[in-house]
Amino acid sequence: MKRIIAGINIICVLMSSAVYAQAPKYSNEFLSIGVGARALGMSGSYVASVNDVTSGYWNPAGLANIGNQHQVALMHSEYFAGIAKYDYGAVATRLDSSSVLGVSFVRFGVDGIPNTTQLINSNGDVDYSKITLFSAVDFAAIVSYAKTMKISGLRLGGSAKVVRRRVGDFAGSWGFGLDAGLQYDYKKWKFGAMARDITSTFNAWTFNLSDEMKQTFITTNNDIPSNSVEVTLPKLLLGSARKFDFTKKISLLAEVNCDLTFDGRRNVLISTKAVCVDPHFGLEAGFMNIVFLRGGIGNYQTYTDAYGKTINTFQPNIGVGVRIKTVYIDYAFTDIGDKSVALYSNVFSLKVDLNKKHK
């Protein structure tokens, strides 16, 4: 039953959004979920402190700080009680003492969705043999480059990404976009900025609907989708971090980030017509640089319930990590912040350093 409802919703929502909105607020949102259990355990507060292969996603400038010649990472997580699968893989390699190249892959998909548009025939009879299965999949390939500049503490980076989205055999799109980032270290502080979709990302949608499906759309008072271009507008991510070394064995990393959007009001903590600000904060406590405990809060939202009462919510995240020589194993536990729903997600990720350490 869950998958039947999901199938109906996905077909209608994805197709209608491509028809009506040329620049919707929530376009390519699978690229806003986040990657890596370390970052997700800190509520995505990672723009300034990221220094590994996951920088290709969070801030390409951070790639310049990878410690070894090569680094690889993998992640798997599930959402909505396992209905949606989110997978990530990346590799980074040092080109020389000041530049690094990285490649990242992201897949977010719901598989085995029943297509019930032909469930009822022209005579009004239910025919379960007409149910077929399809997948709704979002995929992105990201190529990133970072370079350490001659100015002390300054690193610059950029990414080019190709986005492929498919809804079964009857809808799909190709998109292309650019990201740019920088990091700057000043004394004990780290600062970061990430301009996502800096030139806007364009997804060109095409549709291949059968006559029977078109008739279903007409019968259910839905518009028939037509080929169109969906635009993802720019977003600016800002961050500041500092690491405190209490002893030789115990440390604490703290980072605060703000996501700035410029496409009208959103349900975030600070919302205006000109700019919306979504803050989030994360901590990482380390012991001997081997065991790490993490926590963070973000995704502040306000809504009105069925009784007219105003409800304020936020999303808490926790995580743990272990380093075994050159292998990093991380775990994060998150929920959407609404205890009445209690949708929890478990995120696992693996990172491995390869070859000699960069000096």
Q: Which tens digits make up the pLDDT trace of 98-128?
A: 999 999 999 999 998 888 877 777 677 787 8
Which string of DSSP letters, residue by residue, matches 42-78?
TTT--TTT--STTHHHH-GGGGGG-SEEEEEEEEEEE
CA–CA separation, 322 and 294 (whole Å): 11
174 within 8 A of 164, measured Cβ to Cβ: yes
Strand 270-271 versus strand 276-287 pairing type: antiparallel
Tokens 């190529």: give the residue.
Answer: 143
Domains of the chain, start order: 2-357 (2.40.160.60)
Question: Which pLDDT belongs to residue 308?
Answer: 85
Q: Specify which residues 94 forms β-bridges with.
A: 100
Tokens, residue 220? 């259910």
Residue 255 class from Cβ within 10 Å (0-12 exposed, 13-18 middle, 19+ buried)?
Answer: buried
Q: What is the mean pLDDT of the chain?
A: 87
Q: Give 43-93 pLDDT, tens digit per residue.
A: 999 999 999 999 999 999 999 999 889 999 999 998 877 888 999 999 999
Question: In this structure, what token pair is assigned to residue 265?
Answer: 């009001």
Taking 50 as the pLDDT cut, the residues of the chain under it are: 1-21
Residue 333: which of 346, 322, 342 has the closest Cα? 346
Phi, psi torsion values for 128, nearest 5 degrees: -65, -20
By C-alpha distance, which of 135, 144, 73, 142 is closest to 108? 135
In the chain, which ranges are E strands?
A: 68-79, 84-94, 99-115, 132-148, 154-167, 171-186, 189-196, 201-207, 228-232, 235-245, 250-261, 270-271, 276-287, 291-304, 310-324, 327-335, 344-357
pTM of the model: 0.85
Please give the Cα distance from 92 to 338 (Å, whole number): 37
Task: Please list, in sequence order, all residues whose beta carbon lies within 8 angstroms of the beta carbon of residue 138, skipping any fewer than 6 positions away.
Answer: 28, 30, 106, 107, 108, 109, 163, 164, 165
